[in-house]
Chain A
C-alpha cells in the first residue's frame, strides 16, 4: 500500500444550533486517509460519523451549523476555507459520496442514464454525446445489464440494489480520488449487500480510489476495511488496522460492540450487552463520555477525559485503562477469544497477509 496521505482531518469540532440549545455533534476528530485504502468509521447513530464526513464535502446546512475548530486538508488545501464556487469543483469531482437511501438521493423525474452523465458534463466539460458514451460504460462497469435500454429508465423502475449501483456509477463518474460511502448497504438485503460490497472492493482495486466507509455493521467493516476508526459521542475512541480493532481491541466500547454481536457459531447462549444509551450531546458529560455505560470505568473516567494512548504505530485508543498505573481488567469472554486469535496471528507465525504487515513490525 502506498503511504501517501490524501485526506487529513485535524481536530474537527462541529456544533448544531437547535431549539433546545447547542448540540456538540463532533468533538475533536482527527483522522487521515491514505491513497488506495478503505477507512471504516463505525459507531452508533448520533455518534457523529455522518456529520464529520459530510463536513468534508461541506454538505451540512449553513443555517445552523457551526464549525468550531479544525482543518480538513485535501491534498494540502483546507476545504473549510474554500469558497462555495471552488468547493463545487471538488465536490463530486475529487470527493464523491454515496448515501444510504438510493431512492431519496436519486432524482425521481430524471432518466438514470442522464443522472450519471450529468456530473461528467459539469466537471469534465465534454460533449453530451461523449458523456453518454462514458455513462454507458459506467453502467456496464457497475453491473447494470443492457445499459442502452436502461439508460432511459427512471429510478422507480429499478430495485434497491440496482438504484445503489446507479448511485455508485454517479459517484465514480468523475473518477474521484476519495469516495465517501455513508451506510451504502444498510437499506439492502444481505445477498444484494454482498454484491454491492464486492463491486465496491473490485472498483477500488481497479481505480485506486480511497474510500471512507461509514457503517454501524461490524460484519461489513470486517469485509471492507483496511483501517477502522470507532466513534462514540462525537469522538474517535479507538483506531487501528482492521486486524488490530477486531482481534486486539483496547477500548471498552469496542469490546462491547464486538461482544454484543451474535456469532454464527453453534451453541452460543449469552449475548453481552452494553447497558444504558448514548449520552445526550446537548450536555456532553464531563470526563470519558462512555464512563456511565462502562463496567470497567475507573474513578478518573468521571472527572477527566482520557488521552489517546498508543498501542502500536497504527493503533491508538482513548481509554484510561491503557495508562501505566491503571489496574488490569478482564475483558468480556468474546474479546478474550479474539485476543487469543490475535496472539496466534501475530505473535506465533511471522508470515501474514499484507494488511497486518505494519502492525507486525511494530509489535515484534
Chain B
C-alpha cells in the first residue's frame, strides 16, 4: 500500500509544476478593514498529480487558487509556474500563453457560462482568442470533438446554457477549459453544486481526461471524501494557513494535526452503524496560533508529510504518526 513507503511518483520524475512559497494575500491592505485571507501558504504541485486543497469556507483555499491563476496581484510571497515567477508575467502575449497553459473550472456551472452565448460560441471563443483554429469550419469541428470528449452530444452545440442541467453545464465548463489544451487545471469546488449521482459522473470524467491529456489538477473542495477519492496529495487549510500536507491515503490513516482530525471526524459517512459509534472532536483555532513566530512553520515529519508547527513539536508528531501507522497496519492486516 502507498503509505508503506512506496512513493507515489518515482523520486526521479517528481518535477514540481507549481511552487508556492510564503504566499500572502491581504485585501484592503493597510486599511482598517484589512482582511488577511491568505497568511502563509507554501506547497508545490508535481507534474501529473492531483493536489487536493481542503478547508472550511473562509480558510483561503479559493483565494490561493485565484492567486495562482493570476486573478489579481498577490501581497507577498512567490508563485512559480514551470520555473517562472508568475509575478513577472506582464506582457499581454505572455499572459495569453500563461492562461492557455493554466485553466480553471468554477463552482457554479450556471454563473460561469454566459447565458447569451451558445455552447459553440462559449467553447469556440477560447479557441478564437488563442488562435488555435484557422477558420470557423475548423473551429466547429473542434467544438464537436470537445463536446464528445466530455460526454455531450454534438447537437448541443447550438443550445444555450439555460437549456442544460447543472451536470451538463459543468461538462460544458470542462470542455471550455480543455479547449486550449492546458497542462494545468484548477477545479474550484467544481462538483459541489451537483447532485450526488452527477458528482460521480463528473469526477470520473475529470479522472479520465487527466489520464488522456496528461493534466495536472489543483482540486479545491470542502468535501473531504470526494477530495480523497480524486487526489494524490492533499493540503489542509485553516484561517489562511496550510496546516498539513501529505499523501491522500496517509492523511486518512495518520491525520497528525488536530484540525485535520476534527475535520475528518466531522464528515458524515453513509453508514448508520459507524455513525452511532462516532466520536467527534472539536478544534480550537488558537491551537495553531503561536505568539513567537520563530521556528514555527511547515516542518517535514516524514517524507512528503508536512505539519505547521513549532520546531519542538516535531518529535511529538513523529511519535504520533508511528503509532497511527502501526494501528492502521493491524487494522488492514
Which A residues are closer than 8 A to B by beta carbons?
A: 44-45, 160, 189-194, 197-198, 216-223, 225, 242-243, 246-247, 256-258, 260-264, 266-268, 271-275, 277-278, 341, 345, 353, 355
Please report the C-alpha to C-alpha distance between residue A9 and residue B168 in the assembled complex, in whole angstroms. 34
**Does B269 touch A at the CB level, under 8 Å?**
yes
A44 touches B197 (CB 8 A): yes
The 0/1 profile, CB within 8 Å of A marked 1, for residues 245-262 of chain B is 000010011000000001
A191-B263, A353-B276 given; A266·B249 CB < 8 A: yes
Closest B residue, CB atoms, query A187: B57
Q: Which residues of B contact A278 (CB under 8 A)?
A: 165
B270 touches A189 (CB 8 A): no
A191-B263, A222-B270, A223-B268 given; A273·B201 CB < 8 A: yes
Q: Which residues of B contact A190 (CB under 8 A)?
A: 56, 222-224, 263, 266-268
A264 touches B200 (CB 8 A): no
Q: Which residues of B contact A197 (CB under 8 A)?
A: 268
Please report the C-alpha to C-alpha distance between residue A257 and residue B198 in the assembled complex, in whole angstroms. 10
B249 touches A275 (CB 8 A): no
A262 touches B225 (CB 8 A): yes
Q: Which residues of A contact B275 (CB under 8 A)?
A: 222-223
A277 touches B270 (CB 8 A): no
Please report the C-alpha to C-alpha distance between residue A194 and residue B279 in the assembled complex, in whole angstroms. 11
**Does B228 touch A at the CB level, under 8 Å?**
yes
A189 touches B222 (CB 8 A): yes
Which B residues are closer than 8 A to A by beta carbons?
A: 1, 3, 56-57, 165-168, 195-201, 203-204, 222-226, 228-229, 249, 252-253, 262-276, 278, 280, 282-283, 332
Q: How far is the CB of B262 from chain A (nearest CB, A)?
A: 6
Excluding A190-B267, A264-B267, A264-B269, 14 further A-B contacts by CB distance (< 8 Å) are A44-B196, A190-B266, A190-B268, A192-B56, A222-B271, A223-B278, A246-B271, A266-B3, A266-B249, A267-B1, A273-B197, A273-B200, A274-B201, A345-B273
Partner of A261 from the list B56, B168, B196, B280 (CB cut-off 8 Å) is B196
Q: How far is the CB of B72 from chain A (nearest CB, A)?
A: 24
Partner of A267 from the list B168, B225, B249, B262 (CB cut-off 8 Å) is B249
B197 touches A274 (CB 8 A): yes
Please report the C-alpha to C-alpha distance between residue A193 and residue B265 in the assembled complex, in whole angstroms. 12
Q: Which residues of A contact B273 (CB under 8 A)?
A: 243, 247, 341, 345
B203 touches A271 (CB 8 A): yes
Q: Which residues of A contact B280 (CB under 8 A)?
A: 194, 198
Q: How far is the CB of B36 from chain A (nearest CB, A)?
A: 17
Please report the C-alpha to C-alpha distance between residue A197 and residue B275 in the assembled complex, in whole angstroms. 12
Q: Which residues of B contact A272 (CB under 8 A)?
A: 200
Q: Which residues of A contact B262 (CB under 8 A)?
A: 191
A264 touches B204 (CB 8 A): no
A271 touches B204 (CB 8 A): yes
Please report the C-alpha to C-alpha distance between residue A191 and residue B224 in the assembled complex, in whole angstroms. 12
Q: Which residues of B contact A198 (CB under 8 A)?
A: 280
Closest B residue, CB atoms, query A198: B280
Closest A residue, CB atoms, query B253: A266
A263 touches B195 (CB 8 A): no
Which of A257, A266, A278 is most buried by chain B, counting CB atoms within 10 A of its CB?
A: A266
Closest A residue, CB atoms, query B167: A277
A264 touches B228 (CB 8 A): yes
Partner of A263 from the list B1, B266, B269 (CB cut-off 8 Å) is B269
A246-B270, A258-B270, A341-B273 given; A274·B200 CB < 8 A: yes
Q: How far is the CB of B131 from chain A (nearest CB, A)?
A: 35
Q: A-B pairs with the 6 shortest C-beta distances?
A: A219-B268, A262-B229, A260-B200, A189-B56, A218-B270, A194-B266
Partner of A262 from the list B201, B228, B278 (CB cut-off 8 Å) is B228
Q: How far is the CB of B286 from chain A (nearest CB, A)?
A: 15
Closest B residue, CB atoms, query A293: B197
Please report the C-alpha to C-alpha distance between residue A221 and residue B196 in the assembled complex, in whole angstroms. 13
Please report the C-alpha to C-alpha distance between residue A276 and residue B167 in the assembled complex, in whole angstroms. 10
Please report the C-alpha to C-alpha distance between residue A256 and residue B226 in the assembled complex, in whole angstroms. 16
Please report the C-alpha to C-alpha distance between residue A257 and residue B166 in the assembled complex, in whole angstroms. 18
Q: Which residues of B contact A271 (CB under 8 A)?
A: 200, 203-204, 229
Please report the C-alpha to C-alpha distance between residue A275 and residue B201 in the assembled complex, in whole angstroms. 7
A219-B267, A260-B200, A271-B204 given; A191·B195 CB < 8 A: no
Can you list 16 residue pairs at the A/B interface with Cβ under 8 Å?
A160-B57, A189-B222, A191-B263, A193-B266, A193-B268, A218-B196, A219-B269, A223-B268, A223-B278, A242-B272, A262-B225, A266-B3, A267-B1, A271-B200, A273-B200, A274-B201
Q: How far is the CB of B267 from chain A (nearest CB, A)?
A: 6
Partner of A243 from the list B224, B272, B282 (CB cut-off 8 Å) is B272
A246 touches B195 (CB 8 A): no
Please report the C-alpha to C-alpha distance between residue A267 and residue B6 in the assembled complex, in whole angstroms. 14
Please report the C-alpha to C-alpha distance between residue A343 and residue B278 in the assembled complex, in whole angstroms. 22
Q: How far is the CB of A293 from chain B (nearest CB, A)?
A: 8
Closest B residue, CB atoms, query A262: B229
Please report the C-alpha to C-alpha distance between residue A277 and residue B265 in the assembled complex, in whole angstroms. 32
Please report the C-alpha to C-alpha distance between residue A217 and residue B225 in the assembled complex, in whole angstroms. 12
A260 touches B197 (CB 8 A): yes
Q: Which residues of B contact A262 (CB under 8 A)?
A: 225-226, 228-229
Please report the C-alpha to C-alpha distance between residue A230 and residue B263 in the assembled complex, in whole angstroms. 28
Which of B1, B229, B280 is most buried by chain A, counting CB atoms within 10 A of its CB?
A: B229
Please report the C-alpha to C-alpha distance between residue A266 and residue B251 in the assembled complex, in whole angstroms. 10
A266 touches B270 (CB 8 A): no
Closest B residue, CB atoms, query A219: B268
